[in-house]
Structure 1
Amino acid sequence: MKLIKGILLVVLLAFTKVTVVAQQSTEIAPDSTRNKWIPDYAYMQFAGGQGLLSLGAGYKLGKRERGYLDLGYGFVPSGVRGRAKNIVNLKYSTWLVHPIQIKPNMSLELLGLGLASSWYFGPEHTSLKEGYPEGYYWFSHATDLRFSVGARYNYDFCEKHLIKRVTLYGDLGRTILYSVNQFKNPEMLFNHFVNASVGVLLHFD
């Protein structure tokens, strides 16, 4: 629970960024007052192995800010898969193709690669579920490691706006450990290791 509270604190700090920027004078250059520990953006994602709904924040990396590092919390309600799930997510993604400029304030990025890991909390993830044959899993299913490909659409606002950019994205991912297990176990099903997600990023810088 302490870890989950820490994740929620990071998300809160991301939205606190909006308040901090609002209180700054417009005569002060943004870079002169920016705290590097405050996240550059917040995100909300639907599905994709990170929970039915996940929230988090992250930092842009690299000189061109083509790398994105996310940390967040995901949740699956009990009505979806029997028992509620709490998930901590960590993801790194990088965008390889130069943005296609649609309009001065609109762009499209067609190729992004991501690597994500999720940690599931609860006793049901520490032992093999009933009904599965011995050897079905050779790894702990409390941890999930995935890679993904994606695309995204960016809409830029004026610099004076608190939210500088809104990004809509979609990913198609595959669970690495399940993919390896498929070669060892023919009983693995296709939908056990493929997932899709959609989400939105709110950029504060």
Structure 2
Amino acid sequence: MKKNYKLFTIAIALFYFVTGITLAQDSTAIKPRPKWYIPDALDLQYAGSIGFLSAGAGYDIIHKKASIDILFGYLPRAIGGNDISTITLKFTALPWKIRAGDNTTIYPITVGTFFSYTMGEKYSSDLPSWYPDGYYWWSEAVRVNIFIGGKVRHKFSKNIWEAYYEVGTNELKLVSYVQNTGYLTVWDILHAGAGVRFYLNP
């Protein structure tokens, strides 16, 4: 897992490096139109069932009414008991917004889904051969999640930042809840996360 930890450290360093370069750019310079493959934003997230910290990049789509993000997450052994690394593909819809002044936009409700893949030999995307047919129906490595949340977008002079939160669950927790309603509450199956988003070309 040392390799995964190094990759996560590099991802965090790149987040701050690119953010710093963008903040230092001359506002009077004419910015060329970015290539389609260049991300619109960089992400940094705490918790949310994809790692203790996650870093990545995202794209605004559907006339900025939704976004797609790819994040690399890491949960250190000291916190989670095991070194766990994840890759996440997340879709977020922004159905409603409220203008709060010239520079601030509030998105009171966001909804979305994400697919997280846990890396490592301990986690198989297919069930190991030693399990009999029908013993387990779920994948060890892949989780399908749904969430609801909110975010605030603010323009600071030359740059745009977002702060957001999410509360959600995954398919395995939902099935466990349905099968064990006498023992589990809704609070037992929820996870929460919060993060920031920095726009590269505001």
Q: TM-score range by the shorter chain?
A: 0.7 to 0.9
TM-superposed deviation, 1:113: 0.7
Report if the CA contact (8 A) 1:91-1:115 is conserved: yes
| Residue among 167, 171, 183 paired with 1:172 | 167
Judged with a 3 Å threshold, the aligned counterparts in structure 2 of structure 1 residues 103 and 181 are, in CA distance, closer, same or farther, namely: same
Tell me the alpha carbon deviations over residues 57-84 of structure 1, each in whole angstroms, 9 at most, x when there is no partner: 0111122x11110001000000122110
Tell me the alpha carbon deviations over residues 106-138 of structure 1, each in whole angstroms, 9 at most, x when there is no partner: 22110111110110112332379xxxxx95x52
What is aligned with 1:203? Answer: 199
Kindly provide the amino acid, as one letter, of the partner of residue 78 in structure 2: G
Judged with a 3 Å threshold, the aligned counterparts in structure 2 of structure 1 residues 88 and 96 are, in CA distance, closer, same or farther, namely: same
| Residue among 178, 183, 189 paired with 1:183 | 178
Unpaired segments ≥5 residues, structure 1: 129-133
What is aligned with 1:26? Answer: 28
Matches within 5 A, 1:1-12: 12=14
What is aligned with 1:131? Answer: none
TM-superposed deviation, 1:143: 0.8
TM-superposed deviation, 1:153: 1.3
Judged with a 3 Å threshold, the aligned counterparts in structure 2 of structure 1 residues 142 and 186 are, in CA distance, closer, same or farther, namely: farther
Residue aligned with 1:80, SS: helix
Unpaired segments ≥5 residues, structure 2: 129-133
TM-superposed deviation, 1:89: 0.8
Structure 2 distance, partners of 1:53, 1:23, is: 27
TM-superposed deviation, 1:141: 2.4
What is aligned with 1:193? Answer: 189
Structure 2 distance, partners of 1:16, 1:168, is: 18
Confirm or deny that 1:50 pairs with 2:46: no
Kindly provide the amino acid, as one letter, of the partner of residue 111 in structure 1: I
CA RMSD, aligned part only?
A: 3.3
Structure 1 distance, partners of 2:16, 2:93, is: 21
Judged with a 3 Å threshold, the aligned counterparts in structure 2 of structure 1 residues 61 and 157 are, in CA distance, closer, same or farther, namely: same
Normalising by structure 1, we get a TM-score of 0.76
Report if the CA contact (8 A) 2:22-2:200 is conserved: no
Structure 1, 177-186 or 107-116: larger mean CA deviation = 177-186
Structure 1 distance, partners of 2:99, 2:23, is: 28
Judged with a 3 Å threshold, the aligned counterparts in structure 2 of structure 1 residues 40 and 77 are, in CA distance, closer, same or farther, namely: same
What is aligned with 1:39? Answer: 39
Number of residue pairs the alignment of both structures matches: 189
Structure 1 distance, partners of 2:19, 2:78, is: 34
TM-superposed deviation, 1:187: 8.7
Report if the CA contact (8 A) 2:152-2:162 is conserved: yes
Normalising by structure 2, we get a TM-score of 0.77
TM-superposed deviation, 1:178: 2.5
Tell me the alpha carbon deviations over residues 167-190 of structure 1, each in whole angstroms, 9 at most, x when there is no partner: 111111111232134334569745
Report if the CA contact (8 A) 1:69-1:92 is conserved: yes
Identical counterparts, % of pairs = 24
Report if the CA contact (8 A) 1:156-1:166 is conserved: yes
Structure 2 distance, partners of 1:61, 1:165, is: 17
